[in-house]
Amino acid sequence: MLDPRDTILFDEIDENGPQSYSRTFSIPAEDLRRDEVIGVGPVSITANARKGELPGEYVVDGSFGFTADMSCSRCLEPYPFASSADFHVRFEPRSETPRKLDEEVEIPPDELDVEFYMERAIPLRHLALEQIQLSIPMKPLCDESCLGLCPRCGANRNRESCTCEEPMGDERWGTLREIQARMKKRES
Ligand SMILES: [Zn+2]
Ligand SMILES: [Zn+2]
């Protein structure tokens, strides 16, 4: 049976006032849809949910933390990653009359943390997944100073210095060689 405390129920808040939740989830790396994520450790989340000021609005404040095994986007080596942060999300009812497509919509900065809901139930797991996705960098690096792979032979320059000459001339060719080296490395 589904544990009702896995889910923030707006009806429950209406009836009994603010609610607090604290859960730990195991989330498979595939669910994050990021190639760089190899594995995810237990994800803990706490959330306090209450009614907001606007009609139909609910506010959720909380924090989350998790660890993961990531692969560096420069050298492709796995490295440990950890993140924890606070979050703040406002849920507002999805408007019955959708905004016209040709209407210019400017989203004010304080609407960035707004989500529109249809169902009056928000699974905590969904919140946790969202926060993890936001906390994973666009280009995960094992170290800011990671030297990456040699664009010619694919050697990991953090560990070995190869005898390839530095590519001369056009930078664009260097990038292409780097991609080729990565592909070679992935295949092996
Ligand atoms: Zn690296
Ligand atoms: Zn090399």
> Which of 135, 158, 176 is the endpoint of a domain?
135
Q: Which range of residues forms the domain containing residue 127? A: 4-135
The position carrying tokens 């760089």 is 36
Q: Which of 164, 151, 140, 162 has the alpha carbon at shortest distance from 76?
A: 140
177 and 115 in a single domain? The answer is no
91 and 167 in a single domain? The answer is no
pLDDT tens column, 19-73: 999 999 999 999 999 999 999 999 999 999 999 999 999 999 999 999 999 999 9
Cα 34 to averaged position of ligand 2 atoms, centre (Å)? 28
117 and 169 in a single domain? The answer is no
For residue 165, give the ligand nearest its CA: 2
28 and 76 in a single domain? The answer is yes
162 and 131 in a single domain? The answer is no
Beta strands in 12-143 (DSSP E): 19-25, 37-40, 43-51, 58-71, 78-93, 114-117, 121-123
Q: What is the pLDDT at residue 183? A: 76
14 and 64 in a single domain? The answer is yes
Confidence of residue 171 (pLDDT cuts 50, 70, 90): low
Q: Which two tokens stand for residue 17?
A: 């006032």
Cα 39 to averaged position of ligand 2 atoms, centre (Å)? 30
Confidence of residue 184 (pLDDT cuts 50, 70, 90): confident
131 and 151 in a single domain? The answer is no
Average pLDDT over residues 80-91: 94
Q: Which of 186, 184, 181 has the alpha carbon at shortest distance from 151?
A: 181
Q: pTM score, two decimals?
A: 0.73
Burial class (CB in 10 A: 0-12, 13-18, 19+), 51: middle
Task: Identify whether 24 is part of a domain.
Answer: yes
**Cα–Cα distances in Å, from 71 out to 29, 86, 166?**
12, 25, 25
Provide the residue type at 96 as one letter. Answer: E
**Domain total in the chain:** 2
Please calculate the CA angle 118-40-26 and round it to the nearest 5 degrees: 55
Assign residue 29 a region: left if phi > 0, alpha if psi is -120 to 50, beta otherwise?
Answer: alpha
112 and 46 in a single domain? The answer is yes
For residue 157, give the ligand nearest its CA: 2
Q: How far apart are CA 170 and CA 14, in angstroms?
A: 64
Q: Which two tokens stand for residue 187?
A: 């295949």
Cα 141 to averaged position of ligand 1 atoms, centre (Å)? 5
11 and 78 in a single domain? The answer is yes
> In terms of DSSP bridges, do strands 37-40 and 19-25 run parallel, antiparallel, or are they unpaired?
unpaired
Task: Identify whether 141 is part of a domain.
Answer: no
Cα 124 to averaged position of ligand 1 atoms, centre (Å)? 33
Task: Identify whether 115 is part of a domain.
Answer: yes
For residue 163, give the ligand nearest its CA: 2
Average pLDDT over residues 134-147: 94
158 and 125 in a single domain? The answer is no
50 and 103 in a single domain? The answer is yes
Is the model more confident about 144 or about 188?
A: 144
Lowest mean pLDDT among 64-68, 87-91, 100-104, 163-167: 100-104
